[in-house]
Amino acid sequence: MYVTLLNTHDETDELLNIIETPRKKPSLGSVRFLPAGSNLFHEGDEAQFIYEVRSGVLRLTRVLENGKRQVIAFGYPGDFVGFPNGTQYHTDCDVISSTELIAHRRSALDMDVGDEATRRRLLNAALREISGMQDHFMMLARKSATEKVASFLSVLSERVGVQAGAARKVNLSMRRADIADFLGLTTETVSRTFTQLRKAGIIAIETAQVIVILDQRALSDAAETE
C-alpha cells in the first residue's frame, strides 16, 4: 500500500475518540463548514488551528518562486491538516469539495492545557504524517508515470471508493491539474495515463471525476514496479 494522502486514522484514534467524548469538557474544537472553492488558510498565516476533516476534500499546496506548484497532500475525512512550523502555516489550504471540519486550537498540541487525549491524537497524527510523507517521497522520486497514477487511484479506491458490484467507484473531486501537481507530472501525462489504463481495461472513466476501477488487482500490480 502506497501513497498516504495524509494521515490514515487508525484504531487508536477511534478508541481515544470514544473515551474522549463522554469526558468532562470534550474540548473538541468548534465545527466549521466551508464551500468548495473557498480557502481555509494561506502559507504564512498565523496557525491558530489544526483542522480535522470530517467530510469533503481539502488540498494543501506550496508554490515555488518560479510559479510551479506542488500539491503536498489532499485532506480526506479522518485527516488532519494545518500542522504549523513555529507559529505559521507552511502551505495554502483550499477546499476542493465542500467540507465539514473540526478546528482544534494549536495550543492543544504544544501545551499541556486542554485534555490529554486530544493532545495525543494530534501528536500521533503528526507522526503518521511524517511516515506518510516518506511514502510519498518514494512515489515522487522512484516511480514511473503509470506507477504513480495507479498508486494514486489504488489508495483513493481504498480510502474513499464505494463498491459497485464487482467494481469500485471513486469520486476524484479534484481536477487533472491537481493530480499532476501531486504526482509531479503534467496534466497531459496524467490524462494519457488514464487513457492507457482505460484501454487496458483496468479502469473506466465514467466522467472526468468519477473513475470506476474494474480490476483492482491489475491496478495494484501497475502501482508496483511493473
Partner DNA sequence: CGAAAAATTGAGAAAGGTCAACGGCTGTGG
Partner DNA sequence: CCACAGCCGTTGACCTTTCTCAATTTTTCG
Residue 137 engages a second copy in binding (rule: CB under 8 A): yes
Binding flags for a second copy, 72-111, as an x/- string (CB under 8 A): x----------xxxx---xx-----------------xx-
Cell, residue 191: 490524462
Residue 55 engages DNA in binding (rule: CB under 7 A): no
Q: Closest by alpha carbon to 55, among 12, 85, 96?
A: 96
CB neighbour class for 49 (10 Å; exposed up to 12, middle 13-18, buried from 19)? buried
Using CB under 8 A, pick the residue from 38, 131, 144, 195 that binds a second copy. Answer: 131
Residue 222 engages DNA in binding (rule: CB under 7 A): no
Nearer of residues 108 and 172 to DNA, judged by Cβ: 172
Smallest gap from Cβ 68 to a second copy, in A, equals 5
Residue 195 interface partner, choices DNA, a second copy, none, CB cut-off 5-8 Å depending on type: DNA
Determine contact, residues 91/39, Cβ cutoff 8 Å: no
Determine contact, residues 74/96, Cβ cutoff 8 Å: yes
Residue 207 engages a second copy in binding (rule: CB under 8 A): no
Smallest gap from Cβ 44 to a second copy, in A, equals 12
Using CB under 7 A, pick the residue from 145, 200, 212, 214 that binds DNA. Answer: 145
CA-to-CA distance for 155 and 209, rounded, in angstroms?
16
CA-to-CA distance for 157 and 214, rounded, in angstroms?
11
Footprint of DNA on 190-219 (CB under 7 A): 190-192, 194-195, 205, 207-209
Which residues in this chain contact a second copy in the complex, by CB under 8 A?
Answer: 10, 12, 62, 64-66, 68, 70, 72, 83-86, 90-91, 109-110, 112, 116, 120, 123-124, 126-131, 133-134, 136-138, 140-142, 183-184, 224-225
Which residues in this chain contact DNA in the complex, by CB under 7 A?
Answer: 144-146, 175-177, 184-192, 194-195, 205, 207-209
